[in-house]
Amino acid sequence: MERTDRLTPASARDLLYEECEALRGVQSRLCTLYAGNGFREVMTPSIEYSGVFSADAAVSQRMVRLMDGGGRLCCLRPDCTLPIARLCGTRLKNAPLPIRLYYSQQVYSVAREHSGKEAEFSQVGVELIGERGMTADVEILSLASQSLRALGNGYRLEICHIGFFRSLMGALSAEETVKEQARALIEQKSYAQLSDLLSPFLEQPAARALCALPRLFGAKDVLARARALQPEKEGIKALDYLEELLEKLREAGLHENVAIDLGLINDADYYTGVIFRGYMEGSGEAVLSGGRYDRLLGRFGRDLPATGFGVNASLVSRGLTGGGEQQGEGLTLALTKGRLEKKTAQLLSALGYDCSALEEKGRRLVLPLGESGIRVILAKAADVITYVENGVADIGIVGKDTIMENGGSFYEVLDLGFGRCRFALAAKSREAVFGGYRAQRIASKYPHVALDYFESLGLDVNIVKIEGSVELAPLIGLCDGIVDIVETGSTLRENGLSVIEEIAPVSARMIVNTASMKLRQQPVERLISQMEGYLQEQAERPEK
Ligand code: PRP
């Protein structure tokens, strides 16, 4: 018997008893709702030719690939909308319009190793095909809202119109690489980095508007703030559309849990109009996602407007069975133990928070921040990211080095300015790493950062993961160079090494869980603004 014979692959698992009941309950509530609203069920196969998804880079990137008997490249369905678009261009090509479809099926996507994410989840959703315009958008948003309401207490639906973002991008005169980076930074609500990236372009109104985009979320007043940024014609049209849509939702009694987020950019690039995401208490990430995709069906031979959404039923049911995080009213702030801890405590004290529990913590790992309602948890750097990503902590303070190495899905909102150091390639000499034709060996605590750097240079290297005191590795002949963080440079100097190339600056960052940003917007925004205000004040203070 092989070692793995009794196991499920990493990121796949069995569901038992109440887990099945919870999932079936979610699926059946949604299916009943959709059937009751005139939608008819379809099932597409789990296995599709990978070409069905190839037009969408983000979707095809997460495909689990396999080969059919004839050696053709197939995949396990990574998305439900594209197979339905295929269906409309083939089996449903003569169906009368509009077509209202719903589905309840498994979706598969490659999960990041050790992320705790599952590679298979249940998605239940609807597609409304053949109807353009406001009425169809209101119908789908109303159904999205009813879906979340049917599943539990406390939800929020964020809406956006992709036309606003696209018009700003279209008006921005900058290289494509800058635009791609800006897109990613807006998606991550990475305020600080976005300003740095776009600072050379700030004489352009589009660049100024893009810098403001990650913060343009909240109630209806967001639209007025967006108009003040003087968008071009397409952008104004998008804002007008959203304004009218909000009014229609208000008339339908759905406005209370609906907000605007103009920085919402869906990673699937087939969306053309209104896009939206839904959040529920108990889940650290969006449980519902959808939007209008008027040009997708044309690729499959039936050029029709369409809109729809999918609910991640697995995520919802995990929240219901207690697999998701359960939080009270207050905020949870995850701090990196060690180097950044003291500086963060100083910053919090300067903002007026009572940090006495942090100063006399002993071996305790969960500490109250006075009477503020904020609790602090202390964790290792990479774990801060894990806690925030999974929503058990709302906010985290962590070094950019850890973010670059681990990645993850969260908002990176502030550069706190302390914990400054830099990523560098270091060696005994430049020749040691760049001389000769042999593929060099590079040791690092940050193998992803190291690999990424050498890939950007187009160089093959062998990376060796080392846990600490990396400077030792080239001294005793394990490697030719190291990629590590350098602060004062004394560790390198005292060991006969020097910086060969600087790779990237590093400092402490404030990160926020995506769902917390929506569901606990006020306290989260308050803390961000306090920190931002303080940092600004410090930066403007004349040097003594
Ligand atoms: C970090 C880093 C370097 C050193 C750089 O190590 O990996 O070794 O600090 O600082 P310097 O430029 O001021 O000399 P850390 O102290 O975190 O210990 P570790 O290497 O054992 O992880």
Confidence (pLDDT) at 329: 65
pLDDT class for 199, splitting at 50, 70, 90? very high
Residue 323 above 70 pLDDT? Answer: no
Structure-block tokens of residue 251: 């008339």
- For 449-482, how does the pLDDT look when each residue is reduced to its tens digit (9 = 90+)? 999 999 999 999 999 999 999 999 999 999 999 9
Measured CA to CA, the distance from residue 165 to residue 225 in angstroms comes to 14
Interacting residues of 371 by C-beta distance below 8 A, sequence separation 6+: 354
Preceding omega of 98 cis (within 30 degrees of 0): yes
490 lines ligand 1 (CB under 6 A): yes
Report the percent of the chain where pLDDT is more than 90.
Answer: 76
Confidence (pLDDT) at 504: 95
Question: What average pLDDT is seen over the chain?
Answer: 92
Residue 325 above 50 pLDDT? Answer: no
Q: Torsion over CA of 11, 13, 18 and 21, rounded to 10 degrees? A: 90
- For 437-448, how does the pLDDT look when each residue is reduced to its tens digit (9 = 90+)? 888 999 999 999
Structure-block tokens of residue 361: 């913590």
- For 481-518, how does the pLDDT look when each residue is reduced to its tens digit (9 = 90+)? 999 999 999 999 999 999 999 999 999 999 999 999 98
Closest C-alpha among 206, 207, 236 to residue 223: 236
Confidence (pLDDT) at 10: 78
pLDDT greater at residue 465 or residue 113: 465
Measured CA to CA, the distance from residue 374 to residue 167 in angstroms comes to 40
Q: How far is the CA of 469 from the centre of ligand 1 (A)?
A: 7
Please say whether the beta carbons of 491 and 426 come within 8 A.
Answer: no
Name the 3-class secondary structure at 376.
strand
Residue ID of nearest Cα to ligand 1 atom 10: 487
487 lines ligand 1 (CB under 6 A): yes
Confidence (pLDDT) at 350: 95
261 lines ligand 1 (CB under 6 A): no
- The atom number, within ligand 1, closest to the CA of 339 reads 17
Structure-block tokens of residue 7: 């196991």
**Start-to-end CA span in the chain (Å):** 72
Mark 21-58 as b/e (b = at least 16 C-beta within 10 Å).
ebbebbbebbbebbeeeebeebebeeebebebbeebee
Confidence (pLDDT) at 193: 83
Residues belonging to the chain: 544
401 lines ligand 1 (CB under 6 A): no
User: What one-letter code names the amino acid at 172?
Assistant: L
pLDDT class for 280, splitting at 50, 70, 90? very high
Give 502: exposed, middle or buried? Use CB within 10 Å, 0-12, 13-18, 19+.
exposed
Residue 187 above 50 pLDDT? Answer: yes
Residue 326 above 50 pLDDT? Answer: no
Mean pLDDT of 88-110: 95
Confidence (pLDDT) at 533: 93
Confidence (pLDDT) at 179: 93
- The atom number, within ligand 1, closest to the CA of 489 reads 12
- The atom number, within ligand 1, closest to the CA of 338 reads 17
pLDDT greater at residue 298 or residue 265: 298
Residue 113 above 80 pLDDT? Answer: no
Name the 3-class secondary structure at 331.
strand
Confidence (pLDDT) at 11: 83
Measured CA to CA, the distance from residue 470 to residue 140 in angstroms comes to 55
484 lines ligand 1 (CB under 6 A): yes
Please say whether the beta carbons of 194 and 214 come within 8 A.
Answer: yes
State the DSSP string of 431-484: HHHHSSSSPEEEEES-HHHHHHHHHHTT--EEEEE--S-TTHHHHTTS-SEEEE
Mean pLDDT of 418-423: 96
Interacting residues of 31 by C-beta distance below 8 A, sequence separation 6+: 41, 102, 104, 124
Confidence (pLDDT) at 439: 81
469 lines ligand 1 (CB under 6 A): yes
List 159's β-bridge partners, or say none: 260, 276
Give residue 428's Cα distance to chain centre.
39
Residue 268 above 70 pLDDT? Answer: no
Q: How far is the CA of 330 from the centre of ligand 1 (A)?
A: 35
State the DSSP string of 120-176: EEEEEEEEEES--SHHHHHHHHHHHHHHHHHH-S-EEEEEEEHHHHHHHHHH--S-H
Measured CA to CA, the distance from residue 150 to residue 52 in angstroms comes to 33
* Greatest C-alpha distance within the chain: 77
Confidence (pLDDT) at 438: 81
Residue ID of nearest Cα to ligand 1 atom 19: 468
